Structure 1
C-alpha cells in the first residue's frame, strides 16, 4: 500500500536554440493529508514495495500527466518508462500507453518516452520501442554515460534523445579529473548518431556553459525552474537564458582572443627557432622561455612525421636534450595529422586541438611550422594551463 495521493509535477526543458520552454518532464509525486508533497521516485527502487502497487501508481501518474498536458498549446511531454513494466507485457499485445494516449486524444508527436534503465530482455525492449516509434513517439535514454557496459544496448534502441547522467554531467562541469573530455566525447558520439542531448540537473551558470559546450539541445534544472504542479508560459525563462547564453558567448570570444595572442607569440618563437637552426642549433642558444611560459618542449620532425631531433625541454633553468624519441613517427597521432595536412604552407603557424600529453599528463596543444620548402617541421608543445 502506498501512502499519499498521486499527482504529476512538471519540470521544463529549455530549448537552447530559443531559450523558450520546449517541453516538460512528468515526475511522480505524492501528497499527504497535510498537503505536503514528496517525490515518489524512491518507491520505484524500494524492493519492499509491491510491484503491482508501483504499476498502478505509474499508470495513474501517466494518465494524470497526459490529461493535464492535453490542453497545453505546444511542446512535448516526456514520460518515464521502466523496462520492468515492459517485461510484464505479453508479446504482441496492445501497448497500454498507446491505448491511453488514443483515449485521451494527445498526438503521439507531442510525447517522448524516456527509458529509465536498460536491464532486462533487450530484444523485447527493442520491439516495444520500435512500436512506440512507429506510432510517432520519440524515444529518449536516461542516464546516458552511467553504465559503460550498456552502450551496445543504447545503440540497439536507436534513440532520438540522450539524457546525460546527472552525476557524470555535474562532475564534468566542475572540471574534476578527465570526466569533461569523456562527456564531450559522449556528446560528440550522440551528435554523429543524430541524437539530441538533454543536460539535466543544471543548477549553476557554469553547468549551463558546459551543457552548451557539449551541444545540448535541451537543458533542465533548478537554474531555470523546479518541478511544479502547473505549466509556465513558454517564454518564462527566455530573458534569463538569453543573458546567460550571452555570457557564454563572451567567454568563448575571450578564449579566442587568448588564442590570437598565443598565435602571435608562436610566430615570434618560431622565428627565433628558425634563426637558432640556421646558426648551428646549439642547445645553449635556444630562445629563453621567459617570454613563453606555456612552452613545454620543442623538437624537429621530417615531413612524414618522424622525429629527427631530441626533445628540448626547459628543466631547472636550463635546456635539456632528451634523445629518447628520436626516430619515433608521430603521424598517426590525431593532433599530428592535423598539422601534416597543412604541408606546403611554410609561413603558416598551425595549432592543434587540445589533448592530454602522455608523458606529462598535462592538457596540451601542439603547434607546428613547416620550413625548408616543407621538408622539415618545427614543433612546440604548449601547456594550456599557462595560456
Structure 2
C-alpha cells in the first residue's frame, strides 16, 4: 500500500477516536459524576435530578448560601446555661433537612400533623412589636341573646389586610415586614366556657364563632368581625389570633414582652340589659330612693319585678329581706338602701344560675375559617 493511501486512513482513525473515544469518557463523567459530586455547581442539573437531597443542583439554586448560616444553630447553649435550662437541638446547616422523611405541610392545614420546612422570616424590632386589646365586647359585658354582635379588636404595629389563600398557602412563606411592621391579619375566636371563673381550658377544636379578618379595618388599627345572628345564652371567651400573611403566629424579637393578642370574657343573657356596663342604676351605693330610676316598690326591682320577692333576687335571693336592698323592693320602704347592704347582692351574671348551658344545642358558626 502506498504512503499516499496510508496517511488518509490514519488521519480518519484519529479523528474518530477524538470525536467518540474522548467524548464518551466525558459523557460518562458528566452524566454520572453529578451523583457523586453533590456540591459541584457545574453538575447542578444532573445533581438536582439524581441527588436532590445533597442541597446542590439547578445551578446552585438549591444550595445553602454560607452567608445565611445561623452559627448558633450548631450550639446547644449549655456552656452558659442556667440551672434547669435544656439543651437545644443542633445543626450546622440551619436544619435544612429537618423535615426529611416526614409529611411536609406544603401549604395545607394538615390535621394529622406535619413538618414545615419554611424559614421563620423577618422579625420586627422591639419598637414595632404587636400589641392588642379587645374593644367590643369588654370584659364582663352582658349582651342580649341572638342579637347582632360586632367583635372588635385594636392592634398596634400590624400592617393588616394581607391574607393568603389558606387552602394551598398555609405556612408556605416566611413572615415579612413592611415599614418594619409585620404584614398579616387577625382572627376572632369565640368559645363557650360555661363559667367566667373556670379553671378548665376549653377544647381548642370547639368554638362558637370564628372569623378571619382579611381587611385593613378602619386604618387606625381597629379590626371587626360582625356576627349578625348573635349567640345563645351562655358564658363566653373571645380572643384575637394575630397571624402573618401566610397564617403563622406572628413572631416577636424578644421573650420579655406583652402578648400580641387579647381575650375577654362576656355573658349572653336575656337579663343582661341592666347589667351591661357595670349594673348601671342598680349599685347599692348610689343612694337612690324608693321612687328613683325605676327602683321603687313598683319598679323594675319591686315585689313583682325582676328582683322582687318572687324574682331572681327577691326575699330568698341575694337582695331579699336580709339582703342588699330590702324586703319589698330593690331599695324598698325603709329608705334608699333597705336594711342592710349585702356585699354580693348584684353578683353573678344577671342572676343566671350555673348549669343552664347544659342541655342546649351548641352554637357553631364558621363565616370564614383560616
TM-score (norm 1): 0.22
Bigger strand share = 1
Bigger helix share = 1
Q: Greater RCO between the two (CA within 8 Å, min separation 6)?
A: 2
TM-score (norm 2): 0.23
Indicate the structure (1 or 2) with the bigger Cα radius of gyration. 2
